[in-house]
Amino acid sequence: MGYRRYDKLITILVPCRARHERTINLLDSLERTTDNKERLRVVTITDFDAIEDHNNISNAVNSNRISYELFNITRTRDFHLNKNYYNLANLLGESWFSWILGNDIEIETEGWDSILYDNTVNHFDNIIEDIKNYYIFINDDTHSSNYGDGSAASHGSCFPIISNNYSEKVRGPMPENFRSWGGDSELYWSCLADKDSWEFIDLQDKIKTSHYCFHNGKVQADEVSEHVKKHHSNG
């Protein structure tokens, strides 16, 4: 493989815009539920004009509210969520896996990182030698609950965990031909189309999140959802 280092078990990718309380709730949930903080790197991505996001994240770090490693990327605002937020952030992902999250998520499972480690450690050689890519289902509280127009089996996970040997090859993990919505399903379908290269690990019964979104009826559509919907076309 190329340049990738594997210093961490997982890098969590979190674009942040508005939803200020939700962002802090996510960061707090990671602090609360992670067994071994040394396994974890979190990369938040904020826009230059998002002053409240910057202040909230800085305060969480400087007050020792969180004890895991956190990087923040600040950039000019862009409509291409997958290419210029998720995939940009994962260039800092010196880890075995990346987890594609939104700032409307909370982690519910205590010791989720130990569960992930125990279910993947035997595959590390395949990752470092680039023998197999890994797609890991978690309970995303949306597709996993069969809300909306699909399920995890047909549409993949809203928030999959992806091995970084794949991401290194494609500057991923998200497909850059999709700006935002639909990228998660497109990623899953491309994995299914290349089954010889991929192994699927189902942890839906072991790692659970809460997803506060209008797709599953937990909240009303907010300004971020409306903005993404307006600009989500491919290209």
Helix axes 51-62, 20-33, angle to 10 degrees: 30
What does the alpha-carbon distance between residue 10 and residue 41 come to, in Å, rounded to a whole number? 6
pLDDT in tens, 39-96: 999 999 999 988 888 899 999 999 999 999 999 999 998 888 888 888 999 999 899 9
Residues 6+ apart with CB under 8 A from 230: none
pTM here is 0.86
What does the alpha-carbon distance between residue 157 and residue 106 come to, in Å, rounded to a whole number? 15
What does the alpha-carbon distance between residue 220 and residue 88 come to, in Å, rounded to a whole number? 29
β-strand partners of 8:
95
What pLDDT was estimated at residue 213?
64
Res 28 pLDDT > 90: yes
For the CA atoms of the chain, what is the radius of gyration? 16
Domain ranges of the chain: 8-230
Q: In this structure, which topology does domain 8-230 adopt according to CATH?
A: Spore Coat Polysaccharide Biosynthesis Protein SpsA; Chain A (3.90.550)
